[in-house]
Amino acid sequence: MFDVTLSALAAQVFTGLVLGMIFVLLAIGLSLIFGLMTVVNFAHGSLFMLGAYFGVFIFGLTRNFWLSLVVAPLMVGALGLVIERFLIRRLYGRSPDDPLLLTFGLSLIIVEAARLIWGKIGLTLDPPRVLAGGANLGFMTFPVYRLFVIAITAAVLVAIWFFLERTNVGLIIRAGSRDPLMVRALGIDLSRIWLLVFGIGTALAGLAGILAGPMRGVYAEMGVTMVIESFVVVVVGGMGSLIGAVVAGVLMGQVVGLTTFFAPALAEIMVFVAMAVVLLVRPSGLFGEAGLLE
Amino acid sequence: MNRRSFLASTTLAGATLAFPAVLRAQGKDPIRIGFPLPLTGPFGALAADQQRGAQVAADELNAKGGILGRKVELLFRDDQLKPAVGAQRTQELIDKEKCLFIVGGLAAHVQMAINEQTKKSKVLFISVSQSDEISAKPDTSPLTFHEALNPTITSRAVGGWIADNLGKKWWIIYADYAWGKQNNAVLQEVLKKKGGTVLGATPYPLGSAEFSAHLPKIQAAKPEVLVTVTPGADNIAFLKQAISFGMKKDMRIAQPLHWLPQLKEGGPELYADIYGGTNFYWELQDTIPQVKRYVEAYQKKFNTPPGDYGCYAYSGVMEVARGCELAKSADSEKVADALRKSPVYDHYKGKQWWRACDNKSFQDLWIVKGRDKAKGDWGLVEVVSKIPANEELDRTCAQKGHA
């Protein structure tokens, strides 16, 4: 069991790192919506699934992967705007359980709707030719598409950071998440800001969905495992912390990678063991602010 | 007599002359067959095929006058792939809906829950999905029949073929639950008998979408054959990822079962050159007349070729009918005795029979291989080999607890 060659271990660590970045991609939309709005969006997984289906749909019309990659997340984002404007908005100021229940119900509706529209048999989305195939990294052959997903994840993280830290709207968003009352007193319409944040968060779920399609397949239940993966990452990183999501994603990638390597039967449970340990030491997660959900 | 009632009665009379059998069947109480199956959930596509197969059987029976001159009615109920729900639906089907027989179930654990209810109510149950326990003690009963293949038969047959034809150094990856573990155990046993080596066997949690962490280790071990026991959506995610890591080039990939809805979902590029076993494939109609008849009936009604699990459902319903006609009764115990007394049947692909000790059906299976280029929408695999029905592929009566 422990006759490990160094190159096999290097390959494993690298695979785990990439896996961790994929976890980050899945989790950022969820983290953003929670951190800035204190809304636990249980529909995240089904919006992720919709992103993939919209991607297949646009690809079917245009045969252009790149166009689908842009349009599908925007479509999911637009749906997110509608959900916030007409459903979630009515629940602000009530207990956090209410939007949680609402979005949970929505997720069931969206999954069944997808089954009705696209059928019970899943669909395929292939990566474009440029990204198909493997790259020789010296110690292993690694799929080019996964490297591309990492590049997109990094770009998205930089863009979000820039948006939140370096723009006026970002300033208002951050202020609004600290003290909504004060921001309102300054004459700023926070409901628009929250609409925007929810739209961005759901669009990111959609982006993750279309990017996951070529790796995992496109099917109505694809959001179910993804929601678990992203919740673990968000909780370990600290609800609402972007840097926390990155650190936790990479950490979880290594936990999964190394346990799978040495003791595959324990891989699933170790994720939750790691989560429990982190929460014992830091109840709000690695980078979480205390008191967000109390 | 006014015009309307005149029209109604003459139409009725005309219809009676034209379809006497159909109408006679409708005269008496119908024979109701309850059919629990997971219409919603991850196996929805397989369940839809089961439902269609059963409907083809019911239509065919009713067109010939039903069972014992009584119309056949199928009652489908969604068990959501949950044992508790399956048990409840089954109980309702028997107690409230007055179903005389139960056919159905998908996934071993739900079959068990259904079986507990049918045993309690002394109702004949024909199980139409894979399970080793359903025909073994302590779970089975004289009223429990098992129409589908089981993990032991499948993995002995397919595993033996893989060892003989593809290579004797394997890596096995399997879903960490009953069906996956049983297949893994049987595959290892088969390979050992054939003098091969298992380089490694890794479990993973059922329902995973991410397999990349498993792949570097398998690549490093360089097996000749990668045997994947990854049902449902897991299969597609696993194969996509394994292929993207370049593994299709480095090793052969084979699995105990191919399912048609899944082959369709993954597409020809994914499944090209991947081997698997199956209880049925519609292209067998080119050589087997019974297959042709079934495929045509199914296609006429649903406009798509039948899948593999729908056949089990079709055959299960047909066996209820055959048993009733033989016993001249719709009493579960008499029907079960009649089936054991005349165990040989042939509904859709050739001769099958019930083994007397465990009510297990024995049947042919086939090895198929993914085509590079699909023939039409559904010609996704080609038949490579046939493995004839053989009682030795299952555990013996004694091993299954039948004295």
Give the pLDDT confidence of B324-350 residue by residue, as tens digits.
Answer: 999 999 999 999 999 999 999 999 999
In a domain, A268, yes or no: yes
- Alpha-carbon gap: B201 to the closest alpha carbon of chain A (Å): 9
- Alpha-carbon gap: A96 to the closest alpha carbon of chain B (Å): 28
Q: Write down the pLDDT at residue A203.
A: 96
Residue whose entry in the numeric block shows the structure tokens 């289906």: A53
User: What is the rounded average pLDDT of the residues B289-318?
Assistant: 96
Interface list for chain B against chain A, based on CB atoms closer than 8 Å:
40-42, 44-45, 48, 176, 202-205, 207-210, 212-217, 219-220, 233, 236-237, 240-241, 244-246, 261, 264-267, 269-270
Q: Is the pLDDT of residue B166 over 50?
A: yes
Alpha-carbon separation of residue A56 from A191, A222, A287, B209, B358 (angstroms): 33, 14, 36, 18, 48
User: What is the rounded average pLDDT of the residues B4-31?
Assistant: 57
pLDDT band at B8 (very low <50, low <70, confident <90, very high): low
Please give the tally of structural domains in chain A. 1
* Sheet strand arrangement including B252-257: B197-204, B169-175, B225-229, B252-257, B275-278, B365-375, B379-387
Give the bridge partners for B171, in sequence order: B200, B226
Give the bridge partners for B72, in sequence order: B31
Q: Is the pLDDT of residue B14 over 80?
A: no
CB B154 within 8 A of CB B257: yes
Give the bridge partners for A135, in sequence order: A142
CB B199 within 8 A of CB B227: no
- Contact list in A for residue B176 (CB cut-off 8 A) is 265, 268
Cα(B127)–Cα(B109) distance, rounded to whole angstroms? Answer: 12
- Contact list in B for residue A119 (CB cut-off 8 A) is 45
Within 10 Å of residue A285's Cβ, how many Cβ atoms?
A: 25
Helix H or strand E segment including B226: strand B225-229
pLDDT (tens digit, 9 = 90+) per residue, A254-284? Answer: 999 999 988 888 888 899 999 999 999 998 8
Q: Write down the pLDDT at residue A176.
A: 84
In a domain, A101, yes or no: yes
Q: What is the percent of chain A where pLDDT is above 70?
A: 97
CB B137 within 8 A of CB B402: yes
Q: Which of B217, B220, B245 sits opposite A143 (nearest CB)?
A: B245
* Mean of the per-residue pLDDT values of chain B: 92
Reduced to 3 states, what is the DSSP secondary structure of residue B342?
Answer: coil
- Contact list in B for residue A226 (CB cut-off 8 A) is 209
Q: Enter the tokens of residue B274.
A: 């991947």
Q: What is the domain partition of chain B in residue ranges?
A: 3-149+289-362, 152-278+365-393
ipTM computed for the complex: 0.85
Helix H or strand E segment including B31: strand B31-37
Q: What is the percent of chain B where pLDDT is above 90?
A: 82
pLDDT (tens digit, 9 = 90+) per residue, A188-240? Answer: 888 899 999 999 999 999 999 999 999 999 999 899 888 888 899 999 998 87
In a domain, A121, yes or no: yes
- Alpha-carbon gap: B115 to the closest alpha carbon of chain A (Å): 27
CB B129 within 8 A of CB B61: no
Cα(A166)–Cα(A17) distance, rounded to whole angstroms? Answer: 29
Amino acid of residue B269: E
Question: B254: Cβ–Cβ under 8 A, 6 or more apart, which residues?
Answer: B158, B162, B166, B225, B226, B227, B228, B274, B275, B276
Cα(A103)–Cα(A124) distance, rounded to whole angstroms? Answer: 27
The Cα diameter of chain B in Å comes to 87
Lowest mean pLDDT among A6-15, A67-76, A212-221, B81-90: A6-15
Q: Which of A17, A19, A141, A251 has the highest number of chain B CBs within 10 A, making it the mutation to test binding with B?
A: A141
Question: B340: Cβ–Cβ under 8 A, 6 or more apart, which residues?
Answer: B354, B356, B359
pLDDT band at A4 (very low <50, low <70, confident <90, very high): low
Cα(B329)–Cα(B314) distance, rounded to whole angstroms? Answer: 21
| Per-position DSSP letters for A31-100, written without gaps between them | HHHHHHH----TTHHHHHHHHHHHHHHHHHHH--HHHHHHHHHHHHHHHHHHHHHHTGGGGTTS-THHHH
pLDDT band at B2 (very low <50, low <70, confident <90, very high): low
Within 10 Å of residue B66's Cβ, how many Cβ atoms?
A: 24
Q: Write down the pLDDT at residue B226.
A: 97
| Residue A126 DSSP label | P
Q: Is the pLDDT of residue A292 over 70?
A: no
Do the Cβ atoms of B240 and A216 come within 8 Å? yes
Q: Is the pLDDT of residue B51 over 90?
A: yes
Q: Write down the pLDDT at residue B227.
A: 97
Q: Is the pLDDT of residue B130 over 70?
A: yes
In a domain, A1, yes or no: no
Q: Enter the tokens of residue B210.
A: 């991410």
Cα(A69)–Cα(A74) distance, rounded to whole angstroms? Answer: 9
Q: Enter the tokens of residue B90.
A: 């089954």
In a domain, A292, yes or no: no
Q: Is the pLDDT of residue A136 over 90?
A: no
Q: Write down the pLDDT at residue A137.
A: 83
Reduced to 3 states, what is the DSSP secondary structure of residue A274?
Answer: helix
Q: B152-278+365-393 adopts what CATH topology?
A: Rossmann fold (3.40.50)
Cα(B360)–Cα(A271) distance, rounded to whole angstroms? Answer: 41
Amino acid of residue B326: L
Q: Is the pLDDT of residue B15 over 70?
A: no
Residue A84, CA atoms < 13 Å, CB-side half-sphere? 26
The burial class, CB within 10 Å (0-12 / 13-18 / 19+), for B267 is middle
pLDDT band at A1 (very low <50, low <70, confident <90, very high): very low
Q: What is the percent of chain B where pLDDT is above 70?
A: 93
Query: Which has the higher per-residue pLDDT, A201 or B3?
Result: A201
Alpha-carbon separation of residue B217 from A9, A11, B51, B349, B397 (angstroms): 8, 8, 41, 41, 40
Q: Enter the tokens of residue B231.
A: 């049902």
Nearest partner of B202 among B194, B191, B188, B189, judged by Cα: B188
- Alpha-carbon gap: B385 to the closest alpha carbon of chain A (Å): 27
Q: What is the CATH number of the domain that holds A49?
A: 1.10.3470
Cα B366–chain centre separation: 14
- Contact list in A for residue B236 (CB cut-off 8 A) is 122, 216-217, 219
- Contact list in A for residue B201 (CB cut-off 8 A) is none
User: What is the rounded average pLDDT of the residues A102-114?
Assistant: 94
pLDDT (tens digit, 9 = 90+) per residue, B350-384? Answer: 999 999 999 999 999 999 999 999 999 999 999 99
Alpha-carbon separation of residue B152 from A18, A226, B106, B130 (angstroms): 38, 33, 17, 10
Question: B286: Cβ–Cβ under 8 A, 6 or more apart, which residues?
Answer: B292
Residues spanned by the domain of A45: 6-281
The number of residues making up chain A comes to 294
Nearest partner of A203 among A83, A46, A79, A36, judged by Cα: A79
**Residue B176: left (phi > 0), alpha (psi -120 to 50), or beta?**
beta
Q: Write down the pLDDT at residue B1.
A: 47
Do the Cβ atoms of B216 and A8 come within 8 Å? yes
Do the Cβ atoms of A261 and B244 come within 8 Å? no
Do the Cβ atoms of B204 and A257 come within 8 Å? no
| Phi (first) and psi of residue B9, to 5 degrees | -70, -35
Torsion of CA B253, B257, B262, B266, to 10 degrees: 0
Q: Is the pLDDT of residue A294 over 90?
A: no
Q: Write down the pLDDT at residue B294.
A: 97
- Contact list in A for residue B204 (CB cut-off 8 A) is 260, 264, 267-268
- Alpha-carbon gap: B341 to the closest alpha carbon of chain A (Å): 40
Give long-range contacts, CB 8 A cutoff, 24+ apart: B290-293.
B290/B346, B290/B347, B290/B348, B290/B349, B290/B350, B291/B348, B291/B349, B293/B348
The number of residues making up chain B comes to 403
Q: Is the pLDDT of residue B9 over 70?
A: no
In a domain, A294, yes or no: no
Helix H or strand E segment including B371: strand B365-375
Q: Enter the tokens of residue B34.
A: 């309850």
Q: Are domains B3-149+289-362 and B152-278+365-393 of this chain identical in fold?
A: yes
Question: A47: Cβ–Cβ under 8 A, 6 or more apart, which residues?
Answer: A29, A76, A79, A80, A110, A202, A205, A206, A209, A223
- Alpha-carbon gap: B209 to the closest alpha carbon of chain A (Å): 6
User: CA torsion sign, B38 to B42 to B45 to B49?
Assistant: negative
Q: B3-149+289-362 adopts what CATH topology?
A: Rossmann fold (3.40.50)
Cα B137–chain centre separation: 21
Question: B297: Cβ–Cβ under 8 A, 6 or more apart, which residues?
Answer: B56, B59, B60
Q: Is the pLDDT of residue B24 over 50?
A: no
- Contact list in A for residue B184 (CB cut-off 8 A) is none
Q: Write down the pLDDT at residue B19.
A: 52
Cα(A249)–Cα(B318) distance, rounded to whole angstroms? Answer: 53
Nearest residue of B to residue A5 by CA position?
B220
Cα(B72)–Cα(B92) distance, rounded to whole angstroms? Answer: 18
